[in-house]
Amino acid sequence: MLVHEADRPSDAPYVERVWRYHSEGSGSFLSIAECRSELVVARYRGQVTVTLRGPETRASRMSYPPDVEWLGIRLKPGAFVPSRPVRGLVDRGVTLPEATGASFWLDGSAWPLPEYENADTFVARLVRAGVLAMDPTVPAALRGDMTQASLRTAQRRFLRATGVTRSVARQIERARYAALLLMRGESIADVIHEAGYFDQAHITRSLKRLIGQTPAQLLRDGCEQLSFLYKTEPSAAL
């Protein structure tokens, strides 16, 4: 099973959350949809793998071996690596080459492996070096502020920075929020109303595709293990 060790929000302008997991025995889980990019460091049998992951637009089943340790740095919406177009990372990730046992290559430079405690400082160094950028159009669009640019320009910039359209981001955020409510024990009827679905058929189709479980399955004890799903509220603009 996957064991959640810790996670924390961040006040850093480019980092949304930092998380840490490990596996006890081998198994599988449902990797659920996510509209943010993240950097993941995995340690297994003395080997370290650093992966830059893009958004996931559907749920998928993933397997893992025993005794793996993961550190994840989830970026805020609009944060991206300009040299790695996000649209090319949708529903996949890219493994970054190893420099030494304690560093990896990104944009022609060797970077030390981040740790849970220094993740914000690590990301700040990437920003200062121009490796990581933020398009302010994205958080503005999520707040419902579309006055900074024309709608068409905002949509194009949103897609460039996040790899998905604002509509897709809305669907993903709503499904994640609904899943959290259901796993807290709220009724399907209440979640339909609170998350803004039309009816039970609508929420069932959405959650099955984006979360990999139906509302009824999420309400049951012993539902399948999901990837990292933390408490959040959907944007008012979504």
- The residue extents of the domains of the chain are 2-134
Bridge partner residues of 52 (DSSP): 39, 94
148 pLDDT higher than 70: no
Q: pLDDT band for position 150 (50/70/90)?
A: confident
Tokens of 201: 């058929």
The neighbour count for residue 188, using CB atoms within 10 Å, is 19
> What is the model's pLDDT at position 43?
96
Q: Is 159 helix (H, G, I), strand (E, B) or coil?
A: helix
- CA distances (Å), origin 130, targets 80, 106, 124, 125: 11, 11, 10, 9
237 pLDDT higher than 50: no
Taking the model in full, what pTM does it have?
Answer: 0.91
Residue pair 22/3 in contact (Cβ under 8 Å)? The answer is yes
